[in-house]
Amino acid sequence: MKKLISMLLALVLVLGCAAFAEAGEQADGKLTIWCWDKTFNIAAMEKAKEMYQADHPDVEIDIEEVLSEDIESRVIASNGDTSTLPDILLVQDHSIQKFVTNYPEVYHDITDEFDFSDFMPAKLGLSVVDGRNYGVPFDSGTVVAAWRTDYLEQAGYTVADLTDIDWDRFLEIGRDVKEKTGMPMLSGQAGAVDTVLIMLQSCGGSMFNEDGTANLAGNEKLKAVIDTYNTMVAEGIFIEVNSWDEYIGTLSNGSVVGTINGCWILSTIMSLADQAGKWDITNMPAMVGVDGATNYSNNGGSTWAVVNNKDIDLALDFLQMYRNVDFYDAILPATSAIATFTPAKDAPNYTAASDFFNGTPIFATIVEFGDSVPAEVTSPFYYDARGNVGTAVTNALNGGDLDSELQTAQDTTEFTMGF
């Protein structure tokens, strides 16, 4: 009996030590974070680290620069082994659905562990999978219409004339401006369909249905958007270029009146020192005769995901920084990273007038725009559908029948989805 008791005590001791060792492995008081872009995401996270360590000096935080595509490839290569991954990683908003669906063991469900109140609704929806939330929202891709006020003035217009308008009125102004100045209003990369999808979301449209099926063929909102877009291109109000660099070039060399894009484009515009004071922003045009049409949309953005790894509680505590107005105020001047946390709009750097943009408090304005952006239905197959829509738009521009092209896009997307 004594021998049996001794063996049981020894077993308890061994199991206890193993449990302690496992707990120590799981919670080492250190956070590893993967993200990209030194002047944007990394700079913001470095400020979060500085502010957090001021109150938690014993916490070690290692921020590693890893490109978005490399983060995705490493998640795929992990095959669910989270020991090869960090505690926190950055995810492109339109990639979250795909990766959480395909690698559910990697991403921690934070629905009941983080306060999501006061974040922009459209942003939040992107990281929700099967009703559960897998991301802490970060930067905004809220769309702005940015215009050269000097060019508009030459044609007899102001930014006020382009505020709260619809696309029919925009086409009228675009024709008049082009006739008087010889300049197109907008530019964009051919086949990339950024503008098309911006317009689609502005009226509450999506490339997918709520049940996850593709929604391309017979999508009346999408057809209306493509018709309007193709009209702009056909009339030279919108010029298509071959690359991203060429698109940026149209802004830097002043060969277009403006741009309609995610607010992150403003950092590029603000780098053009010789154009200071010649720009202003407003909202985008709304679709005509389309239910749910608004003057607001989104393009781009990213979200922080917590990995089912070591210090989940510590990672979540650290990410409370993304509910901190002082943090957003601190990172704004250096990064132009605009919050999707609505209370940030009242911070000093947000409400300050921008000399570059004619004295407009552009950052507070953008946060207000974000509250009105319609939510979209996304999918793990978002980028597949996007590419197929791009092909449909290009073929329709070249004389193809739009209904037939969208049916082909639907069929191709469904094949990829396995339907």
Domain-embedded: residue 39 = yes
Strand runs (DSSP E) across 53-173, as ranges? 60-65, 88-92, 128-129, 132-133, 136-137, 143-148
DSSP 324: -
Q: Tens digits of per-residue pLDDT, 231-248? A: 999 999 999 999 999 999
**pLDDT value of residue 336:** 82
- Are both 180 and 257 inside the same structural domain? yes
* Residue ranges in the chain modelled with pLDDT below 70: 1-27
386 falls within a domain = yes
Name 406's Cβ contacts closer than 8 Å, sequence gap at least 6. 216, 217, 218, 219, 222, 223, 389, 392
Q: Are residues 96 and 54 in the same domain?
A: yes
Nearest Cα residue to 196 out of 143, 243, 247: 143
Q: Is residue 19 part of a domain?
A: no
289 and 158, same domain (yes or no): yes
DSSP sequence for 164-176: S-BHHHHHHHHHH
The answer to whether residue 14 is domain-embedded is no
Asked if 297 and 143 touch (Cβ cutoff 8 Å), the reply is yes
Q: Do 269 and 402 fall into the same domain?
A: yes
* Same domain as 402, residue 363: no
411 found inside a domain: yes
Does the residue 17 lie in any domain?
no
353 and 396 share one domain: no
Is 288 in the same domain as 389? Answer: yes
Q: Which of 278, 64, 336, 313 is nearest to 151 (CA)?
A: 278
* Tokens 């593709």 belong to residue: 214
Q: Pinpoint the alpha helices (H) of 79-158.
A: 96-102, 121-125, 149-154
Q: How many CA atoms lie within 13 A of 92 on its CB side?
A: 18
Confirm whether 376 is domain-assigned: no
Cα separation, 120 vs 266, in Å, equals 20
Name the region of 164 (left: φ>0; alpha: ψ -120 to 50; beta: rest).
left
The closest alpha carbon to 282, from 147, 411, 157, belongs to: 147
Specify whether 197 is located in the same domain as 316: no
Residues 6+ apart with CB under 8 A from 348: 329
Closest to 360 (Cα-Cα) out of 278, 257, 255, 252: 278
CA 23/CA 33 separation, integer angstroms: 21
Q: Are 162 and 263 members of one domain?
A: yes
Residues 167-205 as b or e (16 or more Cβ within 10 Å = b): beebbebbeebbeeeebbbbbbbbebbbbbbbbbbbbbb
- Which of these, 167, 200, 160, lies nearest to 186 by C-alpha position? 167
Q: What element of type H or E holds 305?
A: strand 302-306
Q: Which residues pair with 302 in a beta bridge?
A: 92
- Running DSSP on this structure, what letter comes out for residue 89? E
Longest dimension (CA), the chain: 103
Domain boundary among 348, 370, 392: 370
Q: Please give the tally of structural domains in the chain.
A: 2
CATH of the domain at 43: 3.40.190.10
364 with 402, same domain: the answer is no
Helices (H), 190-272: 194-202, 220-234, 244-252, 265-270
User: How many angstroms separate the Cα of 409 from the Cα of each of 98, 154, 202?
Assistant: 19, 42, 21
Domain holding 48, by residue range, is 29-140+300-370
- Which pLDDT value is given to residue 21? 34
Q: How far apart are CA 356 and CA 291, in angstroms?
A: 36
Same domain, 201 and 333: no
Strand 143-148, strand 258-262: pairing: antiparallel
> What gap in Å lies between CA 394 and CA 189, rounded to an integer?
11
Query: Is 4 part of any domain?
Result: no
- Is 51 in the same domain as 78? yes
pLDDT at 4: 39
